[in-house]
Amino acid sequence: MKFRLALLLILIVSVAPVAQSWAADGRFALVIGNAKYPDAEAPLKEPINDAKDIAEELKRNGFDVETGENLNGDAMRRALERLYARIKPGSVALIFFSGFGVQSARQSYLIPIDAQIWTEPDVRRDGVSLETILGEISGRGAGVKIALIDASRRNPFERRFRSFSAGLAPVIAPNGTLVMYSAALSSVVSDTGGAHSLFVSELLKEIRVPDLMAEETLNRTRVGVTRASRSEQVPWISSSLAEDFSFIPGARPQPPTQVAIATPPPRPDPPPAPPAVANIAPPPPPPPPPKIELPPAAATVPAVKDEATTAVASLADDPTIKSLTGKLIDNPDDASALYRRGQVYASKGAYQLAVNDFTESIRLNPKDVEAYNNRCWVRTVIGDLQAALKDCNEALRLRPNFVDALDSRGLVNLKNGQTKNAIADFDAALKINPRLTSSLYGRGLAKQRNGSISEGELDIANAKAMDPNIVKEFADYGVR
């Protein structure tokens, strides 16, 4: 039923002991590659190879490297504690993470493979905060702090939240810190399916260039990724370095190469116009940008009409929607952009616009089970219950025992007065995830309506103890 955060930070760390110390000048690195997440449909193909190659390159450059693969939460925290313990005043400390990352409360979290994430508080409980890592490294006296995070992936957790927040958040880092994400803030990219990610391929290429300072190395990496992806992927960099630092020891600062990119490179200019010839009409002006108008259906939903009207009125200026709409103007068949924009619309109360985007996403990929589930949920909120039930049934046909679709269909049946069916769906969802607050609260309401007052009260009380906002959430869906 929920829109789950997406999207994604990655550190690549090895638990195995380091056979040789390379830290003559106090360079320490933790490299983590997490690929085998049980919640994902298949292991990620890139993080392990990326972690190994990054680790080898850092070792050649004098770093004392610990590398970890497929680390659970305890293993990640122990590896970080070992890194903290090695740091001395003035050391260089580097973190590389490849895997899934999630942002919550404007912070980015690196996700261990055993994280049990069903609600937003679970992110903060099971994830590892990047800001906390950098703060701890700084507190141990490191002079240069570097974080290279390849975690901006569409992840299996993003649709478990009703509030939408894809990708990673800006990091508030201490002085002397250089941070790079593989993609722009609040955006996600898909794995290439190859042995290495585009981000790591470009990063390794630039790290090997002699006589480059670290900031220039990362700027050149950003240029390479942006160009290779045709501006579909633009890495994000934040720097507060107060001293020169190079990945290759002994490098001397050189005049900066005239390569810089803060935004995707502009499209090439058109060829020069031919000499003026009489009676040649000037080219027509470019079409105005598309307008986002309030869909009639959103304005007629009593439970959400005020919120939806206000939200939709501000959509034209929303930077995420602007970016996604721009992608769809260039490529109307970009299913990923349609799906993501649908999530944004739904999170902002523009429900009919969300339905439209999910419908187009399903047209492009008739087996997109997530789009079916999310369209089911949105249609339930706006009261289109018959169509919602068809969507949930199709999601469950494509993926039997899909907990999100069971939760969504339970809400459909609850709103439709089918209390026994609602109880059955919520029961099935809770067998899979006993901590799914929405199913617990929904089952409590359904039990009360079915005459089991005391049992319903117990479910409702337990759900409210887990999430005090659950009552308002259901009220927003038109269920009280």
Per-residue confidence (pLDDT) for residue 298, from 0 to 100: 35
The last residue of a domain, from among 196, 217, 239: 239
pLDDT beyond 80 at 463: yes
SS3 letters for the chain? CCCCCCECEECCCCCCCCCCCCCCCCEEEEEEECCCCCCCCCCCCCHHHHHHHHHHHHHHCCCEEEEEECCCHHHHHHHHHHHHHHCCCCCEEEEEEECCEEEECCEEEECCCCCCCCCHHHHHHHCEEHHHHHHHHHHCCCCEEEEEEECCECCCCHHHCCCCCCCCCCCCCCCCEEEEECCCCCCCECCCCCCCCHHHHHHHHHHCCCCCCHHHHHHHHHHHHHHHCCCCCCCEEEECCCCCCCCCCCCCCCCCCCCCCCCCCCCCCCCCCCCCCCCCCCCCCCCCCCCCCCCCCHHHCHHHHHHHHHHHHCHHHCHHHHHHHHHHHHCCCCHHHHHHHHHHHHHCCCHHHHHHHHHHHHHHCCCCHHHHHHHHHHHHHHCCHHHHHHHHHHHHHHCCCCHHHHHHHHHHHHHCCCHHHHHHHHHHHHHHCCCCHHHHHHHHHHHHHCCCHHHHHHHHHHHHHHCCCHHHHHHHCCCC
Cα–Cα nearest to 251, from 205, 199, 215: 215
Percent of the chain with pLDDT over 90: 50
Q: CATH no. for residue 403?
A: 1.25.40.10
Lookup: tokens for 150: 């390849």
Q: Is residue 436 situated within a structural domain? A: yes
Q: Is residue 371 situated within a structural domain? A: no
Q: What is the mean pLDDT of residues 327-339?
A: 87
Q: Please enumerate in sequence order all residues whose Cβ is within 8 A of that of 306, keeping only pairs 6 or more positions apart, or say none.
A: none
Cα-based distances in Å from 11 to 66, 219, 381: 11, 20, 38
Lookup: tokens for 73: 């939460």
Q: What is the dihedral of CA 169, 173, 178, 180, to 10 degrees?
A: -10
The last residue of a domain, from among 321, 351, 366: 366
Cα-based distances in Å from 427 to 182, 400, 405, 424, 448: 40, 15, 13, 5, 15
pLDDT beyond 50 at 452: yes
Q: Please, which pLDDT band fits residue 1 given cuts at 50, 70 and 90?
A: low
Q: Tell me: the pLDDT tens digits for 358-377?
A: 999 999 999 888 889 989 98
Per-residue confidence (pLDDT) for residue 27, from 0 to 100: 95
Which of 17-21, 81-85, 124-128, 471-475 has the least mean pLDDT? 17-21
Q: Count of CB atoms within 10 A of residue 364's CB?
A: 15
Q: Is residue 245 situated within a structural domain? A: no
Per-residue confidence (pLDDT) for residue 50, from 0 to 100: 96
Q: Are 370 and 3 in contact (CB under 8 A)?
A: no
Which of 186-195, 400-409, 425-434 has the least mean pLDDT? 186-195
Q: Is residue 276 situated within a structural domain? A: no
Domain identity same for 178 and 313: no
Percent of the chain with pLDDT over 70: 79
Q: Is residue 388 situated within a structural domain? A: no
Domain identity same for 35 and 88: yes
pLDDT beyond 80 at 126: yes
Q: Which residue has the higher pLDDT, 416 or 473?
A: 416
The rounded distance, in Å, linking the Cα atoms of 108 and 89 is 26
pLDDT beyond 80 at 84: yes
Which of 72-86, 117-131, 136-150, 306-320 has the least mean pLDDT? 306-320
Per-residue confidence (pLDDT) for residue 347, from 0 to 100: 74
Q: Is residue 272 situated within a structural domain? A: no
The rounded distance, in Å, linking the Cα atoms of 250 and 256 is 17
Per-residue confidence (pLDDT) for residue 223, from 0 to 100: 94
State which amino acid sits at residue 353.
L
Q: CATH no. for residue 175?
A: 3.40.50.1460
Q: Is residue 273 situated within a structural domain? A: no
Q: What is the mean pLDDT of residues 334-348?
A: 82
Q: Specify the number of domains making up the chain.
A: 3
pLDDT beyond 50 at 227: yes
The rounded distance, in Å, linking the Cα atoms of 440 and 407 is 10
Question: Which range of residues forms the domain containing residue 171?
Answer: 27-239
Q: Which residue has the higher pLDDT, 59 or 116?
A: 59
Q: Which residue has the higher pLDDT, 114 or 154?
A: 114
Domain identity same for 66 and 123: yes
pLDDT beyond 50 at 142: yes
Domain identity same for 105 and 224: yes
Lookup: tokens for 67: 């590398």
The last residue of a domain, from among 318, 346, 366: 366
Per-residue confidence (pLDDT) for residue 264, from 0 to 100: 43
Q: Count of CB atoms within 10 A of residue 450's CB?
A: 14
Q: Tell me: the pLDDT tens digits for 2-53?
A: 443 333 333 333 333 333 333 445 999 999 999 999 888 789 999 999 999 9
CA 306 to chain centre: 29
Q: Is residue 250 situated within a structural domain? A: no
Q: What is the dihedral of CA 16, 22, 24, 26, to 10 degrees?
A: -50
Domain identity same for 360 and 312: yes
Q: Please, which pLDDT band fits residue 427 given cuts at 50, 70 and 90?
A: very high
Domain identity same for 360 and 410: no
Q: Please, which pLDDT band fits residue 314 given cuts at 50, 70 and 90?
A: low
Domain identity same for 120 and 218: yes
pLDDT beyond 70 at 392: yes
Q: What is the mean pLDDT of residues 279-299?
A: 42
Q: Tell me: the pLDDT tens digits for 151-188?
A: 988 777 766 665 545 688 888 888 899 999 999 988 88
The rounded distance, in Å, linking the Cα atoms of 235 and 276 is 43
